[in-house]
Amino acid sequence: MEINSKNAQLWSRFGSRAVFGQAMLAAGEKNEKIMALSGDLGNSSGLARFQQTFPERYLNVGIAEQNMIGVAAGLAKEGFNVFATSFAPFITLRAGEQIRMNLGYMKLNVKAVSIGSGISMSFLGNSHYGIEDAAVMRSIPNMTVVCPADCSEIVKVVNAASEFEGPMYIRLTGAVGNPPVYTEDYDFIIGKSITLREGKDITIFAHGTMVFESLEAARILEDQNVSATVVNMHTLKPLDFDAIDKALSTSKAIVTVEEHSVIGGLGSAISEYTSQFPNNPVQLTIGLPDKFGKTADYRFLLEKYRLTGKKIAEDIIKFVYK
C-alpha cells in the first residue's frame, strides 16, 4: 500500500477501520503466519476482505473478548502472529486480565487492536468510549503501546506489527473524514517519535487524532508569535526519551495532547519520566477530563472537550503566557 497524497485523501474518506482492514489484507498476503480474530466485529473492524481471502486464518469468536485473547495466545504458541480486534473498552477492560497474563506475562506474539478508541464512537456513548485504555495497557509489563496519527500511519503500524515479535496494543482513533497528517512516504520505527514541525518556544507531544489538531494549534500559535515544535509520539511505550530530553533542554513549556483521559496517558507517561529531573519546563496536559462523557456527534465532542486546534492553542496561551 503506497503512501501518497491521493491515497491519503482516499483513506481519510474510508476511515481508520477500513484502512486497518486493507492493511491487514496486504500483510496477510505477505506473511502466511498472520491471523485475525474478531469479537463478532469483523465488518466493523474492516476485516471482511481478510476473512473472504483467508478464511482459514480468520476466527470470529463471538462476543467473548476474554476467550478471544485466550484463543489468540494459543495460536501464538503455535507460531502465528495474531491480531485480535474489538472496541477499546471491551478488549482492554473486559479482557484486561487475559492480556495481562497471556500477553504481558507470557510475552506472546499477539497484537490487541482497539477500534474506535477515544470518543469516536460518539453516539454509542460511554459503554463504547475508550478513554482509559492506554493507561491500562501501558501499565502491563512487556506491552508495547502504539497509537497511529492517521490512516497512512495505520498502514505503517500494521506493517511494523506484522514483523514485530511480542505483545502489542494498537490504539485506533478517529472517525471517517479525519484529515491526513502524512501525504507522502516516511520512515516509521516503533519507539521512535517523529518531529513534524520545529519551533523554539514550546514542544507539543501528541498521538492519534491529536497530532493533526496539534499541527493546527501550532499554526495558530505562530500568528501569535509563539513558535511550537510538534512531535508525533506514536509509541506510548516505550517512550522516545531522546525526544523528551531535547524538549527539556530547548523549550519553555512541554504540552501533551491526547484523545484519552488526562490520567494515565501520554501526559502522565512523560511526567513520570521528567519528574526525576530538577528545574523542568512547565508542563500542560491536554486531554479528556476525569469524568464520564456525553453522547453526541464526534466533532461536537471534540469541541466540547477543547480538543481542536483552535481550543488547544487558546489553552496553551492561557497556561504558558498569561
pLDDT digits over 152-183, tens only?
Answer: 999 999 999 999 999 999 999 998 889 999 99
Tell how strand 144-146 and strand 235-237 pair up.
antiparallel
Q: Are 269 and 225 in contact (CB under 8 A)?
A: no
The contacts of residue 103 (CB under 8 Å, 6+ apart) are 69, 73, 110, 112, 140, 142, 143, 167
Apex 135 CA angle, 303 and 157, nearest 5: 80
**Residue 47 pLDDT:** 93
Helix (H/G/I), strand (E/B), else coil: 187: coil
Who's near 48: CB < 8 A, 6+ residues apart?
Answer: 21, 42
Yes or no: say if 206 and 231 are a contact pair by the CB < 8 Å rule.
yes
- What is the residue whose three cell numbers read 469483523? 42
Q: For position 156, what pLDDT does the model report?
A: 97
Q: Name which residue leads in pLDDT, 321 or 92.
A: 92
What pLDDT band is residue 41 in, cutting at 50, 70 and 90? confident
| C-alpha cell recorded at residue 150 | 492517521
By CB atoms closer than 10 A (0-12, 13-18, 19+), residue 90 is buried
Q: Is the pLDDT of residue 109 over 90?
A: yes
Which letter, b or e, does each residue of 210-240 get, where b requires 16 or more Cβ atoms within 10 Å of its Cβ?
bbbbbbbbbebbeeeebebbbbbbbbbbebb
Half-sphere exposure of 239 (CA within 13 A, CB side): 21
pLDDT at 217: 98
Over range 56-70, report the average pLDDT.
Answer: 95
The answer to whether residue 322 scores a pLDDT higher than 80 is: no
Residue-wise pLDDT tens digits, 275-305: 999 989 999 999 999 999 889 999 999 999 9
* Bridge pairing between strands 81-87 and 34-38: parallel
- For residue range 220-273, list pLDDT tens digits in order: 999 999 999 999 999 999 999 999 999 999 999 999 999 999 999 999 999 999
Q: DSSP strand E in the chain: where?
A: 34-38, 58-60, 81-87, 110-115, 144-146, 168-171, 194-197, 202-206, 228-232, 235-237, 253-261, 282-288
Q: Which domains does the chain have, with CATH numbers?
A: 5-171 (3.40.50.970), 194-321 (3.40.50.920)
Q: What is the pLDDT of residue 293?
A: 85
100 is written with which cell numbers?
A: 495481562
CA gap 136, 93 in Å, rounded: 8
pLDDT of residue 198: 97
Does residue 89 have a cis peptide bond before it, meaning omega lies within 30 degrees of 0? no
Are 73 and 107 spatial neighbours (Cβ–Cβ below 8 Å)?
A: no
Q: Which three cell numbers stand for residue 308?
A: 481542536
Q: Quote the cell numbers at residue 232.
A: 508525533
What CA–CA distances, in Å, run from 32 to 35, 107, 111, 206, 291?
8, 21, 16, 34, 43
pLDDT at position 45, please? Answer: 85
Distance, in Å, from the CA atom of 4 to the CA atom of 320, rounded to the nearest integer, reads 37
CA gap 306, 283 in Å, rounded: 17
What would you report as the CA-atom Rg of the chain, rounded to the nearest whole angstrom?
A: 19
The confidence score (pLDDT) of residue 33 equals: 96
Long-range contacts of 10-14 (CB under 8 A, 24+ apart): 11/150, 11/151, 11/152, 11/154, 11/155, 11/180, 12/150, 12/151, 12/177, 12/178, 12/179, 12/180, 13/176, 13/177, 14/151, 14/176
pLDDT (average), residues 193-219: 97
Average pLDDT over residues 37-61: 92
pLDDT score for 192: 98
Mean pLDDT of 147-153: 96
What integer pLDDT is reported at residue 10 of this predicted model?
A: 87
Q: Report the predicted TM-score, pTM, of the whole model to 2 decimal places.
A: 0.95
